[in-house]
């Protein structure tokens, strides 16, 4: 029987390999090598260890599986189809085609069972760290549910993942936080696109991860007993994350291309695929062939997992009966319920008469938001005192007594990412993907460049991630051009499905935070000042309601008035410049536009009342202003920056670069006669 069982398992592995290779061949595009080389370890993991229910991909008690090397997506699609997820064979047949649920790199939300969108290498690695952290934090909040929530995060990572800096940052933090519920299989095949990894990657990966505080083991990635033993050891290791270095042969089974870069990023080719099938005794026809014995084996395993799910349901139902209040709090947190009066609560944290930096207003709003919403968690890249994002009295996720060998207290709400913006973005996304939390990460706006891949994937995936960026312009002052954003603000606005809020005072900051927390279909960037801002109007409650629409008339003017449109710190500047223009007989109106994306979603009639067709517009923003043409037209006067900043006090920068009320009024007055 043992031989029969081993033979059947090998038949399942061959099914995964050739289903993947056939799909890539049919698409004439893709990466067959990694699925063929990783099929053994993927089958052992999925069949014997991974906890899931194919009928309910979002089951709260499931393990998470992250395929960080997303180019190997056909490996995951084959597993999902064979184990009975809602991914029909027709979708495998349509791999990489328009409208299919099998895109070239696996995308969360497109395909049932795909836990994370993994394209840029290393991002999935960081997502998995975030998922593992989220699970630890959930159990810390609901210790009575620890048995029911005893899930883990597994993943497969590639040499490319481990070369990327984001994975190094995330691995360092995972080791520090002792995430013993995280296990990665490293597909150590020694081949990258250009050839042997020896061209550029000769470090001792095992020693590096040991230095990070990981548990490691080297195995033959095609030996099922070694794979099983290594996974069992990783599960027993509860104090450290685990990296299993699995030596594999990329394209295993391909007669001439196995072990070479030729099998990495292109189809095998008809002749190579034919010879591979012949060598394995595999039928040449039909394509995408699944042997009946293998189909039945996958079905039987899925039934066992479904039975385990039913047992989990019984245990959870018993706990719900025994402790209904705990279960109710847990389920409410999973639903990310927000109070109906969230906007009013946050508005109560600010006023419209005090001069404060919007980062300071944000800090006040965060405290009220945290009290209103237990799901809100977050932190910064070692910049808490500057971004003002620590959740007061919420505790930190940290080692007890700050002793590295001590247990980690996961019950806190403030996260300390260290100087790791790359990893912070990926981990915030992992926290959002896990569910149960509304996470944020904070740094200076200039360092959003470090986080761009994570922000982009959050937008692509539609994650409820919040990115807080302070020190938003040249007016941070003496730190100089290396820290003064110019192109970052418009470049973030160019990203689809990212809402960028740049509030001008306390009420607008409260409205921006409320919008970010309520937005369930995509991420939000909150862009905040370092410097204090003058009040822009006393009607704070009304303005907060209008601000929620993304843009509004801050100060109306007579028909034919020139409209000064501004955001953030330049809104008060627009108000002051308008007063100077009015004093000299120029009719003006002022528009505050804290979120262009939210404004664009408003009905046409509302947008026309704010930006009347045919009106004359002046945009004032201390950044590169070209993207504003889409909103106000190419004839508008744009007062912005097309150069880098300089090291000087903020007042000197304003004077030298033309951001004083007098300078703005003068430019508008000079421009108007030509319009």
CA 297/CA 300 separation, integer angstroms: 5
In 10 A of CB 244, how many CB atoms?
26
Of 91, 105, 118, the closest CA to residue 29 belongs to 105
CA 131 – CA 149 distance, rounded (Å): 13
Strand pairing partners for 500? 525
- For the record, the structure tokens of 256 come out as 């001439």
The CA-atom distances, in angstroms, between 562 and each of 336, 579, 611, 668 are 44, 12, 10, 9
DSSP 471: S
Q: Is 421 a catalytic residue?
A: yes
Instruction: Record the tokens describing residue 312, joined without a space.
Output: 């989990």
Question: In Å, what is the CA distance from 670 to each residue of 167, 207, 663?
Answer: 53, 66, 11
Residue found by looking up tokens 């590295």 in the block: 404
Extract the tokens encoding 195. 């050839």
C-alpha closest to that of 220 among 247, 245, 244: 247
Residue 404 CB neighbour total at 10 angstroms: 10
Judge residue 343's burial from the number of C-beta atoms within 10 Å of its C-beta, 0-12 exposed, 13-18 middle, 19 or more buried.
buried
Identify the active-site residue in 14, 91, 115, 421. Answer: 421
Please give the span between the terminal C-alpha atoms of the chain, in angstroms, as a whole number.
89
Rounded distance, CA 149 to CA 230, Å?
Answer: 23
DSSP-derived letter for residue 356 is B
For residues 471, 473, 474, 479, the Cα torsion angle rounded to the nearest 10 degrees is 20
Break the chain down into helix, strand, coil percent, rounded to 5.
50, 15, 40
Which of 204, 165, 201, 205 has the alpha carbon at shortest distance from 185? 205
Q: How many CB atoms lie within 10 A of CB 607?
A: 18
Sheet of strand 182-188, all strands in order from the earlier edge strand to the far edge: 64-67, 153-158, 182-188, 242-247, 215-220
Residue 510's nearest CA partner among 345, 375, 374, 387 is: 345
List the structure tokens of 257: 């291309």
Q: Please classify residue 324 by burial: count the beta carbons closer than 10 Å to its beta carbon, then call 0-12 exposed, 13-18 middle and 19+ buried.
A: exposed
CA distance 250 to 264: 8
Q: Where are the alpha helices (DSSP H) in 189-323?
A: 205-212, 224-236, 270-280, 292-322
User: What residues are labeled active site?
Assistant: 421
């Amino acid at each position: 029987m043992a031989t029969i069982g081993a033979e059947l398992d090998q038949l399942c592995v061959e099914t995964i390999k050739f289903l993947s290779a056939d799909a890539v061949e049919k698409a004439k595009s893709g990466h067959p090598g990694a699925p063929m080389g990783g099929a053994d370890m993927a089958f052992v993991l999925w069949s014997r260890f991974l906890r899931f229910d194919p009928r309910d991909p979002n089951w709260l008690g499931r393990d998470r599986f992250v395929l960080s090397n997303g180019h190997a997506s056909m490996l995951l699609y084959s597993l999902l189809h064979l184990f009975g997820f809602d991914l029909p064979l027709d979708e495998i047949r349509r791999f990489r085609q328009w409208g299919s649920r099998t895109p070239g790199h696996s995308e969360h939300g497109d395909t049932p069972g795909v836990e994370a969108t993994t394209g840029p290498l290393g991002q999935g690695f960081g997502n998995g760290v975030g998922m593992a952290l989220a699970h630890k934090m959930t159990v810390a909040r609901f210790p009575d549910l620890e048995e029911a929530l005893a899930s883990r995060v597994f993943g497969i990572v590639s040499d490319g993942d481990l070369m990327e800096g984001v994975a190094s940052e995330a691995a360092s933090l995972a080791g520090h936080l002792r995430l013993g519920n995280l296990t990665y299989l490293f597909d150590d095949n020694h081949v990258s696109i250009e050839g042997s990894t020896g061209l550029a990657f000769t470090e001792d990966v095992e020693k590096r991860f040991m230095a990070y505080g990981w548990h490691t083991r080297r195995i033959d990635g095609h030996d099922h007993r070694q794979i099983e033993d290594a996974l069992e050891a990783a599960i027993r290791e509860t104090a450290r994350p685990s990296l299993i270095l699995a030596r594999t042969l990329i394209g295993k089974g391909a007669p001439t291309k196995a072990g070479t870069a030729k099998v990495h990023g292109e189809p095998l080719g008809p002749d190579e695929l034919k010879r591979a099938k012949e060598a394995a005794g595999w039928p040449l026809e039909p394509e995408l062939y699944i042997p009946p014995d293998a189909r039945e084996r996958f079905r039987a395993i899925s039934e066992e997992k479904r039975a385990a799910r039913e047992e989990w349901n019984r245990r959870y139902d018993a706990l719900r009966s025994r402790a209904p209040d705990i279960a109710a709090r847990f389920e409410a947190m999973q639903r990310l319920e927000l109070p109906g009066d969230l906007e009013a609560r946050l508005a109560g944290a600010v006023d419209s008469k005090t001069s404060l930096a919007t980062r300071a207003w944000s800090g006040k709003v965060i405290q009220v938001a945290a009290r209103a919403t237990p799901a809100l968690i977050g932190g910064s890249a070692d910049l808490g005192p500057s971004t003002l994002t620590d959740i007061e009295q919420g505790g930190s996720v940290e080692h007890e007594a700050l002793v590295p060998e001590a247990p980690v207290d996961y019950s806190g709400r403030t996260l300390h990412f260290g100087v790791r913006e790359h990893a912070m973005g990926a981990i915030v996304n992992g926290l959002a993907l896990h569910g149960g939390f509304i996470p944020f990460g904070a740094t200076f706006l200039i360092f959003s460049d470090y986080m761009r891949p994570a922000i982009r994937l959050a937008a692509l995936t539609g994650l409820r991630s919040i990115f807080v960026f302070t020190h938003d312009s040249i007016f941070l002052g003496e730190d100089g051009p290396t820290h003064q954003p110019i192109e970052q603000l418009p470049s973030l606005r160019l990203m689809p499905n990212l809402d960028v809020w740049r509030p001008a005072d306390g009420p607008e900051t409260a409205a921006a935070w409320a919008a970010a927390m309520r937005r369930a279909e995509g991420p939000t960037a909150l862009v905040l000042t370092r410097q204090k801002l003058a009040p822009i109007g006393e009607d704070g409650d009304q303005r907060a309601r209008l601000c929620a629409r993304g843009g509004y008339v801050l100060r109306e003017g007579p028909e034919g008035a020139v409209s000064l449109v501004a955001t953030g710190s330049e809104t008060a500047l627009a108000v002051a410049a308008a007063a100077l223009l009015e004093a000299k007989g120029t009719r003006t109106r002022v528009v505050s536009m804290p979120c262009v994306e939210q404004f664009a979603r408003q009905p046409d009639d509302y947008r026309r009342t704010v930006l009347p067709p045919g009106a004359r517009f002046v945009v004032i923003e201390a950044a590169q202003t070209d993207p504003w043409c889409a909103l106000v037209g190419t004839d508008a006067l744009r007062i912005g920056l097309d150069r880098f900043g300089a090291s000087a006090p903020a007042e000197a920068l304003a004077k030298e670069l033309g951001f004083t009320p007098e300078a703005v009024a003068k430019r508008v007055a000079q421009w108007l006669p030509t319009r």
